[in-house]
């Protein structure tokens, strides 16, 4: 595409950088493999811990196998469709799509394997080696995920760019969007299916085990408990990983497509995102490696410092490296990158302010005490308070995202107008927005490590509790868990902020790929408005579908657990001598304690819940892929642009609203339990109301909210893929 | 403005039509006054009914007085600001603003006075004259509101157009937007304040009276009960009236501004909306008058037929009248009008399908049974089900609105391209959208009559119950109430649909007034995207503010009722002889029954609740007015365009979501009470869960949801008013 601007030299540089990126990412993946070996080398010398760890890992693999069985059909069908739909060289888009799907699957598999292996081993390390050892195991467990996501993302996109000859004359980088679409499809299914899974297991296990049978929460004899634990990994590790993976490659693809489509941007702009991804990944490797030296210090500082080392290195090396490139805008893209990072951090802190119990930078949170107080007058006022906190919490993050857009656009446009080309060229500003997204994503290797560390430390605590490892162990794991919270909040901020900016950059890439001029995306065109309204409604539809699905899936889970308990009861009855009162014998605790019965079939339970989750994820997935196709072909490219903008706006808002409302309800309940709310305590009516709010929030924060982040990115990337086939007016 | 195109003749026609409209609207207002006299001529020969009626009317007036005291300051300040802000002839905008505010206030006052007078008289007529008499009284009570809204709207806008010399050379119709802004400001305060008021009174009276003191609901000895009844009128009559008033004048203004700003549209397009308003009002008068002949038939058919007569006459006369005008598009505007009407009706039916218990056109509603079933597993699953029903219910209405936009645009563009002018002139399509809005609004005289009839019949039933008027009376009022439901649903559909289309038309008017070309409203301009995101967030913010306000205001109400009960208890104690057990004497029912105490001070209670509501309404009102001003001046006209589009999308969606979720929760509770949900009944756990859902839905459907309709219109009209003062780039 860049033919007119490309000299031989730039072409060589492009190839060089892509090849270096391939090599570096392979090195990074090798390091991830070594870290995994290091994690599993920790011996589990406690049979209970070993058993639970094995069960969770088996369960997680059972879920992934079933998911991939399902998805392989989907991926094959879509690949064939892409082959035929894509106007020219359909095989390239189809292959890139397969590559993206496979890379996302591999990242999910390795991360999940490592995280589930590290859970129990962190608990063991806490017992045998103390805090530093436990920190290292959990951090390394997370690092496998972090380095896999970063490495496979960089590897895949570099290979795609290399084989497409990105930036060369006659090349068409739009095919690379296929890679992003593959990654996004897997991500949506992982998030939606995983989200339904984890909440179905959670609700099902609690309802039958805790409420009906009266056995304690997290009792391993409840066949749903392993599913619940698997669900935590599925949601927090695999779901988050797939989400970030897709944002990472999406922001790179968006920047490449914008640059490639512009007559005013030279080939170095096409290279730049891969270069930044490369620098960010190298910086992440250093950051992750630095934990070896930091682990003996204060764990919170250690965690933060690995991130800071990664980010700092990225900024410095990026700044000097970019200076050597031939860019009209000089080092301005790095300003956009830095703005993006800062916005991500601030969104995380604001999220923490609205959903957390602790002070944020000396500011006393008001939301949690408010919900706590409103719990005293019952579940209705608790629910209203949670909903309004969630709605209110959208505003500052949106303003921060706007600051990010404004700043990135401003500095890039500013740098550009001082260049030789001159004139109003919005593509520079839009490219800057993709750079801001990269600011939150380039060091994904280390940020995702910290994200995945959190659930590992959390689950380690759960396993320690279930296995009775003693108070000292629990204290260490609790400590490691709690220091992960603020970092996790910042991780969430990065996820939401980068999703918004990536979707926006992809939107810009779409309008470039579809060849839409400024006047063809006018808000005063009724077709654009129609797209805007339909796009705006889709997040509401998907949120409604996923919430309903959680209910249905939980119901199937309940039935399966009841069935197993029934079998166990029959076994007990068969073993009971004549004359013994069956009514007394067959109380649930007795049934479950009866050693002669078949053990609970957790795998069956997991399979049932998995199948239900996967069945339920089809609807939202189809909506996400079909909606842009229908609107694009029927109403034309401008209407599809409107759809993307509309879904971006309500998608980001609904994602913030639902995630934060859910988080706030959760912590309001915890605040009452921990005595932070005057006049309320565990077990009283206010607490009961807060528990109800927490349950409303479960599908909000763990299913629907996170799904929306992916929905908007997936629809955007589908639009980029089909852009060349669309017309301005559409069929109607 | 139209100078170049205007011949002397058109100018004369403009003046003629405006003057005829003034005369016709004065006649209509006179008829409204006669109908009011007719209503109050019904004698109330039952002292209890008379007392309650008087108390409700006094309470309503107390609310309105306090509200207008507040608003007079606000209106004065804004008028002065408008005088200085408006670039040229600021006094015209300021005067129009005052006119709009006064007209809206007068419509609210007269409608409220008539409705509160008709409540008790309908009950009396049911007792003394039977069904036909009761139908006539309640219908006439509603008709005062309907004819006042239509008449004052038409009168005001015609006078403004007349004095501005609309369409003449050198005239600037943009000043007419001041009238819309005045009406919108009053509407927002009426809806937000009224919504907070009604729910605060409802919750406060129930919590202290029913729950704490154990006296029955609607017991007139509870000082909060009158406030609760007043609240019903405030919300359903005055709030709805102000909302529709503003849509009506907003759609006329939008069409006039679009036509006036376009070089391709002649002066007849400027006249057309007033002409259609005039025809619609005449048709409404006939429709309302036809009740005299229809009242002895089946009441449901009578109600529907008055509407159909009005609509049919409007269509026929409009179609032929428009044929005489000199329009490039021939009778195509009437096609847009008819499309608008049909869309409004369909939205109403869909709303009924999602929130109602009865079949809609043979389709069995699934939402209410779903929520009912989910109530069995507790309040959390009930809440989740209600929220997902609300979210899902947004989709079809949005698609219908899109059909309306598409159709209106299509036929207008189609008609236009066959004209002499040729080329792509989106203003014709946008004008068509304003016409579609008029399709739902021109016959406001009769549709608003039916809207206001509903609460009158409902309150008549309440008064009959409280006064012990007997079963026959109650049967008549219940019958009249229930037949109003489907018509009310269609009224709601009109309110939401017309709000969306009016806001969209005002958005188009804004871009015309600000002189924004197609390329200046491009979604690929980062500033437009920033506006879009901020605009999208505002409905979330306002929804959060209003929900929180309901909680606060309810709290103040609770304290006041407790204080009064305390005074009454002291009085009882003072009258109690020594030796009697105070503990027994001072149970609440005994305190309240004690005749010697001071009567409950309902007026004080109303005042407190009114003040709280008015205090709480300031925040959302300020946001709605300040946000477009800040964004417009700071970021420029395109960013403000983005803000309007963003708020339109999320505003309509959130309004639909909240209104329908609230309605569905309410009816799910009723469905359980009426035995429609298998395995659940009044008083069991499922019912308790459904009551909690209903309470969550209260501020959803009666405060936050309806406020959002007005928010988007108010922001749009503020934008039109400030449009001439804005620059493209803004200060930043």
Residue A1 domain-assigned (yes or no): no
- Our CA-based measurement puts residue A519 at a distance from the nearest CA of chain B, in whole angstroms, of 4
Residue of B nearest to A384 (CA): B696
Euclidean distance between CA atoms B273 and A158, whole angstroms: 60
pLDDT value of position A369: 93
Residue of A380, A425, A711 for testing the chain B interface, max B β-carbons within 10 Å: A380
Residue of B nearest to A381 (CA): B696
Residue B279 domain-assigned (yes or no): yes
Torsion sign (Cα): B52, B55, B60, B63: negative
pLDDT value of position B266: 86
B522 backbone dihedrals φ, ψ, rounded to 5°: -75, 135
The model's confidence at residue A240, banded by pLDDT at 50, 70 and 90, is: confident
The pLDDT tens digits of the residues spanning B634-655 come to 999 999 999 999 999 999 999 9
Cβ count within 10 A of residue B34: 13
What is the average pLDDT value for chain A, to the nearest integer?
87
Q: Is the pLDDT assigned to residue A291 strictly greater than 80?
A: yes
Residue A318 domain-assigned (yes or no): yes
The model's confidence at residue B5, banded by pLDDT at 50, 70 and 90, is: very low
Segment A259-273 mean pLDDT:
88
Most confident stretch, A158-162, A280-284, A298-302, A523-527 = A280-284
Residue B41 domain-assigned (yes or no): yes
The pLDDT tens digits of the residues spanning B423-432 come to 567 788 889 9
Query: Which residues of chain B have a CB within 8 Å of the CB of A379?
Result: 379-380, 383, 692
Query: Which residues of chain B have a CB within 8 Å of the CB of A522?
Result: 426, 518-519, 521-523
pLDDT value of position A94: 92
pLDDT value of position B419: 44
Residue of A nearest to B538 (CA): A395
pLDDT value of position B6: 40
Q: Do B547 and A695 touch (CB under 8 A)?
A: no
Q: Do B525 and A426 touch (CB under 8 A)?
A: yes
Residue of A nearest to B431 (CA): A526
Percent of chain A with pLDDT over 90: 46
pLDDT value of position A419: 45
A271/B599: higher pLDDT: A271
Residue A732 domain-assigned (yes or no): no
Residue of B514, B526, B626 for testing the chain A interface, max A β-carbons within 10 Å: B526
Alpha carbon separation from A325 to A14, A265, A420 (Å, rounded):
11, 13, 16
Distance spanning both ends of chain A, measured CA to CA: 31
Q: Write down the ipTM of this complex.
A: 0.91
Euclidean distance between CA atoms B401 and B499, whole angstroms: 11
The model's confidence at residue B421, banded by pLDDT at 50, 70 and 90, is: very low
pLDDT value of position A7: 42
- Our CA-based measurement puts residue B536 at a distance from the nearest CA of chain A, in whole angstroms, of 6
Q: Is the pLDDT assigned to residue A360 strictly greater than 60?
A: yes
Q: Which of B387, B407, B404, B386 is nearest to B396 (CA)?
A: B404
Euclidean distance between CA atoms B240 and A534, whole angstroms: 27
pTM of the predicted structure, to 2 decimals? 0.92
Residue B360 β-bridge partners: B363
B207/B401: higher pLDDT: B401
Residue of B336, B388, B502, B553 for testing the chain A interface, max A β-carbons within 10 Å: B388
Q: Is the pLDDT assigned to residue B105 strictly greater than 60?
A: yes
The model's confidence at residue A69, banded by pLDDT at 50, 70 and 90, is: confident
Alpha carbon separation from B598 to A364, B47, B467, B592 (Å, rounded):
45, 20, 21, 10
pLDDT value of position B589: 60
Q: Which of A398, A430, A537 sits opposite B524 (nearest CB)?
A: A430
Residue of A254, A388, A523 for testing the chain B interface, max B β-carbons within 10 Å: A523
Alpha carbon separation from A214 to A210, A588, B235 (Å, rounded):
5, 7, 47
Per DSSP, helices labelled H in B86-175 are: 90-128, 130-164
Q: Is the pLDDT assigned to residue A1 strictly greater than 60?
A: no
Euclidean distance between CA atoms B145 and B180, whole angstroms: 19
Q: Do A649 and B650 touch (CB under 8 A)?
A: yes
B6: left (phi over 0), alpha (psi -120 to 50) or beta: beta
Q: Do A536 and B387 touch (CB under 8 A)?
A: no
Token pair for residue A419? 């260049």
Query: Which residues of chain A have a CB within 8 Å of the CB of B526?
Result: 405-406, 408-409, 426, 429-430, 433
Residue of B369, B433, B522 for testing the chain A interface, max A β-carbons within 10 Å: B522
Cβ count within 10 A of residue B641: 33
Euclidean distance between CA atoms A279 and A286, whole angstroms: 11
pLDDT value of position B432: 93
Q: Which of B385, B547, B650 sits opposite A388 (nearest CB)?
A: B547
pLDDT value of position A418: 44
Residue B120 domain-assigned (yes or no): yes
pLDDT value of position B211: 66
Neighbouring residues of B98: CB distance < 8 A, sequence distance ≥ 6: B75, B79, B182
Residue B208 domain-assigned (yes or no): yes
Residue B88 burial (C-beta neighbours within 10 Å; 0-12, 13-18, 19+): exposed
B493/B346: higher pLDDT: B346
Segment A165-188 mean pLDDT:
84
pLDDT value of position B348: 87
- Our CA-based measurement puts residue B429 at a distance from the nearest CA of chain A, in whole angstroms, of 7
Query: Which residues of chain B have a CB within 8 Å of the CB of A540?
Result: 391-392, 394-395, 653, 657
Q: Which of A379, A508, A540 sits opposite B394 (nearest CB)?
A: A540
B429 backbone dihedrals φ, ψ, rounded to 5°: -60, -40
Segment B73-96 mean pLDDT:
88
Residue A546 domain-assigned (yes or no): yes
The pLDDT tens digits of the residues spanning B604-628 come to 788 777 887 888 888 998 899 999 9
Query: Which residues of chain A have a CB within 8 Å of the CB of B650?
Result: 536, 649-650, 653
The pLDDT tens digits of the residues spanning B666-698 come to 999 989 988 999 989 988 889 989 988 998 998
Query: Which residues of chain B have a CB within 8 Å of the CB of A409?
Result: 526-527
Domain count, chain B: 1
Query: Which residues of chain B have a CB within 8 Å of the CB of A428?
Result: none
pLDDT value of position B33: 96
- Our CA-based measurement puts residue B286 at a distance from the nearest CA of chain A, in whole angstroms, of 35
pLDDT value of position A595: 54
Segment B33-49 mean pLDDT:
93
The pLDDT tens digits of the residues spanning B427-453 come to 888 899 999 999 999 999 999 999 899
Tell me the residue range of the domain where A521 lies. 8-725
Residue A360 β-bridge partners: A363
Q: Do B544 and A389 touch (CB under 8 A)?
A: yes
pLDDT value of position A70: 84
Q: Is the pLDDT assigned to residue B315 strictly greater than 80?
A: yes
The pLDDT tens digits of the residues spanning B387-419 come to 999 999 999 999 999 999 999 998 888 756 544
Residue of A261, A390, A391, A664 for testing the chain B interface, max B β-carbons within 10 Å: A391
- Our CA-based measurement puts residue A374 at a distance from the nearest CA of chain B, in whole angstroms, of 9
Query: Which residues of chain B have a CB within 8 Å of the CB of A384?
Result: 547, 550-551, 696, 699
Q: Which of B384, B401, B522 sits opposite A547 (nearest CB)?
A: B384
Q: Which of A277, A286, A291 is nearest to A322 (CA)?
A: A277
Q: Is the pLDDT assigned to residue B49 strictly greater than 80?
A: yes
Of the given ranges (A47-51, B14-18, B102-106, B278-282), which has the lowest mean pLDDT? B14-18
Q: Which of A519, A536, A551 sits opposite B649 (nearest CB)?
A: A536
pLDDT value of position A583: 58
The pLDDT tens digits of the residues spanning A519-552 come to 888 898 889 999 999 999 999 999 999 999 987 7
- Our CA-based measurement puts residue B649 at a distance from the nearest CA of chain A, in whole angstroms, of 6
**Matching residue, tokens 């000396």:** A362
pLDDT value of position A713: 92
Q: Which of B521, B524, B657 sits opposite A508 (nearest CB)?
A: B524
Q: Which helix (H) or strand (E) holds B372?
A: helix B367-375
Euclidean distance between CA atoms A175 and A577, whole angstroms: 71
pLDDT value of position B569: 76
A629/A215: higher pLDDT: A629
Residue B186 in contact with residue B107, Cβ under 8 Å?
A: no
pLDDT value of position A564: 83
Q: Which of A388, A433, A523 sits opposite B526 (nearest CB)?
A: A433
Segment B553-572 mean pLDDT:
80
Q: Do A391 and B525 touch (CB under 8 A)?
A: no
Q: Do B526 and A642 touch (CB under 8 A)?
A: no
pLDDT value of position A318: 94
Q: Do A519 and B517 touch (CB under 8 A)?
A: yes
Segment B376-395 mean pLDDT:
93
Token pair for residue B125? 């007529």
Q: Which of B540, B571, B512 is nearest to B262 (CA)?
A: B512
CB pairs under 8 A between A and B: 236
**Dmax (CA) of chain B:** 98
């Amino acid at each position: 595409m860049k033919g007119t601007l490309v000299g031989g030299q730039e072409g060589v540089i492009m190839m060089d950088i892509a090849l270096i990126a391939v090599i570096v990412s392979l090195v990074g993946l090798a390091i991830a493999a070594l870290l995994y070996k290091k994690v599993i080398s920790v011996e589990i010398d406690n049979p209970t811990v070993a058993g639970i760890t094995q069960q969770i890992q088996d369960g997680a693999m059972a879920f992934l196998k079933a998911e991939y069985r399902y998805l392989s059909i989907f991926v094959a069908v879509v690949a064939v469709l892409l082959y035929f739909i894509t106007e020219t060289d359909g095989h390239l888009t189809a292959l890139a799509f397969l590559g993206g799907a496979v890379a996302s699957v591999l990242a999910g598999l390795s991360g999940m394997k490592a995280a589930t292996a590290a859970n129990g081993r962190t608990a063991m390390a806490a017992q045998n080696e103390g805090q530093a050892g436990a920190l290292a195991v959990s951090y390394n467990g997370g690092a496998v995920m972090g380095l896999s996501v970063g490495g496979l993302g960089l590897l895949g996109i570099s290979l795609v760019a290399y084989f497409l000859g990105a930036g060369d004359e006659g090349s068409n980088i739009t095919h690379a969007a296929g890679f992003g679409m593959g990654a996004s499809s897997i991500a949506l299914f992982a998030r939606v299916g995983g989200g339904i899974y984890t909440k179905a297991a959670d609700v099902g296990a609690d309802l039958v085990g805790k409420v009906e049978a009266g056995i304690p929460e997290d009792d391993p004899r409840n066949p749903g408990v392993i599913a619940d634990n698997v669900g935590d990994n599925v949601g927090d590790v695999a779901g988050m990983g797939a989400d970030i993976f897709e944002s990472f490659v999406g922001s790179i693809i968006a920047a490449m497509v914008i640059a490639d489509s512009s007559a005013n941007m030279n080939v170095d702009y096409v290279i730049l995102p891969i270069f930044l991804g490369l620098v960010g990944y190298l910086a992440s490797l250093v950051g992750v490696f630095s934990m070896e030296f930091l682990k003996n210090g204060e764990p919170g500082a250690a965690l933060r410092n690995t991130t800071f080392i990664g980010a700092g290195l990225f900024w410095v090396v990026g700044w000097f490296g970019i200076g050597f490139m031939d860019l009209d805008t000089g080092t301005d893209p790095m300003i956009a990158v830095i703005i993006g990072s800062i916005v991500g951090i601030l969104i995380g802190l604001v999220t923490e302010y609205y959903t957390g119990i602790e002070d944020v930078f000396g500011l006393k949170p008001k939301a949690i005490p408010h919900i706590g107080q409103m719990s005293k007058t019952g579940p209705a006022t608790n629910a209203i308070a949670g909903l309004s906190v969630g709605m209110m919490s959208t505003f500052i993050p949106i303003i921060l995202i706007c600051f990010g857009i404004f700043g990135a656009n401003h500095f890039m446009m500013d740098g550009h107008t001082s260049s030789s080309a001159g004139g109003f060229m919005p593509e520079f500003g839009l490219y800057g927005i993709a750079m801001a997204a990269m600011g939150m994503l380039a060091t994904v290797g280390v940020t995702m490590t910290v994200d995945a560390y959190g659930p590992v430390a959390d689950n380690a605590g759960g396993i320690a509790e279930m296995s009775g490892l003693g108070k000292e162990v629990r204290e260490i794991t609790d400590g490691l868990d709690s220091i992960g919270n603020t970092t996790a909040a910042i991780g969430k901020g990065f996820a939401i902020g980068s999703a918004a900016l990536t979707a926006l950059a992809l939107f810009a890439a779409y309008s470039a790929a579809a060849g839409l001029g400024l006047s063809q995306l006018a808000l005063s065109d009724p077709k654009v408005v129609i797209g805007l309204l339909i796009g705006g409604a889709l997040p509401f539809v998907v949120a409604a579908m996923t919430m309903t699905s959680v209910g249905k899936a939980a119901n199937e889970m309940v039935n399966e657990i009841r069935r197993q308990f029934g079998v166990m009861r029959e076994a007990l009855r068969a073993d009971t001598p004549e004359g013994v009162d069956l009514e007394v014998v067959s109380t649930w605790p007795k049934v479950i304690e009866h050693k002669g019965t078949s053990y609970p079939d957790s795998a069956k339970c997991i399979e049932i819940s998995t199948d239900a989750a996967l069945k339920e994820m089809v609807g939202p997935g189809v909506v996400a892929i079909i909606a842009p196709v229908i609107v694009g072909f029927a109403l034309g490219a401008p209407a599809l642009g409107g759809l993307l903008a509309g879904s971006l706006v309500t998608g980001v808002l609904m994602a913030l609203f639902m995630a934060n409302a859910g988080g706030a309800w959760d912590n309001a309940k915890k605040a009452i339990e921990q005595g932070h709310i005057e006049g309320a305590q565990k077990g009283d009516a206010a607490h009961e109301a807060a528990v109800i709010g927490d349950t409303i929030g479960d599908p909000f924060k763990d299913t629907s909210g996170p799904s929306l982040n992916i929905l908007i990115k997936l629809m955007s990337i589908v639009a980029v893929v089909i852009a060349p086939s669309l017309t301005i007016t559409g069929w109607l």
